[in-house]
Amino acid sequence: QQQVKQSPQSLIVQKGGISIINCAYENTAFDYFPWYQQFPGKGPALLIAIRPDVSEKKEGRFTISFNKSAKQFSLHIMDSQPGDSATYFCAASMKNTGFQKLVFGTGTRLLVSP
C-alpha cells in the first residue's frame, strides 16, 4: 500500500517531442505528489508537484496530470530538449500527517536525442 509504481523504466524521445512518465499508487491517504529530476552525481531537484484537489498543473514545459479515481498521475514534458536527459522520480506523501516521508517510484531514465 505504500508503493508508488512508475513506468516506463527508460524512455528515448526525439528533440521537440513529448515525454510522458506515469505513476500509480494504492494508498488513498497520499495527498501530495511531487516529481523530481536527478542528474548523475547530483541530488534530486524538485520539478513540480500537485495535490489531489486539482487535475492538472502546468509549469513551463512541465505538466502533471492527476486522475484521483484511477489513482494515477503522470508527468508530461513538452518540447523535450537534450538538457532534459536525466532520471525522473515520482513520489507521494501524506502531508496531512505532518510528516515529511516521501515514497518514491523506481525512476525513469529519459534520453532526449538531438
Partner 1 sequence: KAGVTQTPRYLIKTRGQQVTLSCSPISGHRSVSWYQQTPGQGLQFLFEYFSETQRNKGNFPGRFSGRQFSNSRSEMNVSTLELGDSALYLCASSHITRDEQFFGPGTRLTVL
Q: Which residues bind partner 1 (CB under 8 A)?
A: 32, 34, 36, 41-46, 49, 51, 89, 91, 95, 98-107
CB count within 10 Å of CB 81 equals 13
Do residues 58 and 49 lie in contact, with contact meaning Cβ atoms separated by under 8 Å?
no
Cβ-Cβ contacts under 8 Å for 53 (sequence gap 6 or more): none
Q: Where are the beta strands (DSSP E) in 15-95?
A: 19-25, 33-38, 45-50, 56-59, 62-67, 72-77, 86-92
Beta carbon of residue 100, minimum distance to partner 1 (angstroms, whole number): 5
Closer residue to partner 1 in complex, CB, 2/14: 2
Beta carbon of residue 27, minimum distance to partner 1 (angstroms, whole number): 14
Closer residue to partner 1 in complex, CB, 2/55: 2
Closer residue to partner 1 in complex, CB, 2/113: 2
Beta carbon of residue 75, minimum distance to partner 1 (angstroms, whole number): 16
